[in-house]
Amino acid sequence: MRWKPGPGSPPGRTGGGDLIREVPTPNHGERRGGVVPSLIVLHYTAMAGLDPVVRWFGDPATELSAHYVVGGDGTVVVMVPEDRRAWHAGAGSWMGCADVNSASVGIELCNRGDHPFAAAQMAALRGLLRGIMDRHGIGPAGVIGHSDLAPGRKIDPGARFDWRGLARSGLAVWPRAAPREAPDPARFRDRARRFGYTAGVPDAALLAAVRLRFRPGAGGPLDGDDMAVAAGLIDAAPLLG
C-alpha cells in the first residue's frame, strides 16, 4: 500500500493492528538518480519517548528525518513518503553505495540504546518491514543497521537489538554456522566487504560493527569466532525452519 501523509489524518490501524499516525515533515528530497529503495536502515533514536523525536524530525533546522518512527508502544508515525529521500543515514557506505539515503527507507525505533526493545515495538517493526519489503521487492539481506553502513561513526540500533530474532522472522539475515579459523584481518575484511561492509574504516571499527550486530558483547582482538562469523556472512540467510 502507498502512504499518503496529510495533516490532520485520523489515527488508523494497519492489518497488523498497529496504531498509525501521520505527521509529515519537510525534511526530505528527491531520490538521486531515480534510485528505488533496495535497503531498509534501522536506527534507534537515543531519546526518551516518541513525541520529542517526531518534533525533532519535523523541525527544518535539524535537516534530519526518517520515513517511519516506531514508539515503544508500537505506534508507527509516518513522516516521509517512501518514494522520497529521507535524511537519516548520513556519511557511510553499504555494498559500494555511498548515498544510502537515496537507496533506502529509514526506520527510527524509540530506544535510548541502554534498554531492551519492547515486544509491542518489535511486533510493529515486523509488520512495517513486511510491508516495505513487499512494496519494493527488498529481501532480508537488505535490512541493515545504521552501524553497518557507518562503522566507527554510528552504533545504532545497538547491542540490545535482536537481529537474530529478526532473522528468525525472515526479515534479516544471520551468518550460517562455520568453523573457527585462525585470525586473519585481511581475510576478515574481504569477507565483511563481500557481505556489504564497504565503508573505508580502520580494522578496529569494522570489527566493532560486525560484532555489534552478530556477536554483541564480544571484545578483545580479532579471534577465531569473528573469522567464523565472517565466513558465514558469505551465504548468510534468514533463520527459518
Active site residues: 108
Q: How far is the CB of 156 from Zn ion (least distance, A)?
A: 4
Q: Which is nearer to Zn ion, 45 or 222 (CB)?
A: 45
Q: What is the DSSP letter of 69?
A: E
Q: How far is the CB of 14 from Zn ion (least distance, A)?
A: 24
> Of 28, 43, 85, 189, which lies in the binding site for Zn ion, with binding defined by CB under 5 A?
43
Residue type, 48: A
Sign (positive or negative) of CA dihedral 189, 91, 64, 134: negative
Q: Which is nearer to Zn ion, 54 or 231 (CB)?
A: 54
Q: Is the peptide bond before 24 cis (omega within 30 degrees of 0)?
A: no
> Of 28, 146, 211, 213, which lies in the binding site for Zn ion, with binding defined by CB under 5 A?
146
Cα–Cα distance for residue pair 111/166, rounded to 1 Å: 17
Q: Which residue stretch of 73-81, 142-150, 188-196, 219-227 sits at the interface with Zn ion (rule: CB under 5 A)?
A: 142-150
Q: Which residue stretch of 23-31, 42-50, 162-170, 206-214 sits at the interface with Zn ion (rule: CB under 5 A)?
A: 42-50
Cα–Cα distance for residue pair 183/60, rounded to 1 Å: 47
The answer to whether residue 156 forms part of the interface with Zn ion (CB under 5 A) is yes
Q: Which is nearer to Zn ion, 69 or 206 (CB)?
A: 69
Residue type, 90: G
Grid cell, residue 72, equals 515503544
Count Cα atoms within 13 angstroms, Cβ side, for 70: 24
Q: Which residues bind Zn ion (CB under 5 A)?
A: 43, 146, 156
